[in-house]
Amino acid sequence: MKTNELTELMTKSTDELDTDLKNKKTELFNLRFQLATGQLQNTSAIQRVKRDIARVKTIIRQRELKA
């Protein structure tokens, strides 16, 4: 993830981050399903989505601790 994408995440509201988190989890499920059925071409996409999920969760947790 590039720095401009990270700053974009930081500027989003908590509701938008929750929506992003749900979308990323759905994407991860779909990628795992493709992997299990042998349709996934780019296996590194799973790791990328996992890291994106962790980033979003980290930002949400930081905001909880500030409040």
**The pTM is what?**
0.90
Residues with Cβ within 8 Å of 62's Cβ and at least 6 positions away in sequence, in order, are: none
pLDDT tens-digit readout, 3-37:
888 888 899 999 999 999 999 999 999 999 999 99
Residues with Cβ within 8 Å of 40's Cβ and at least 6 positions away in sequence, in order, are: 31, 34, 46
Residue 2's pLDDT band, with cuts at 50, 70 and 90, is confident
Q: Which of 34, 27, 25, 32 is nearest to 54 (CA)?
A: 25
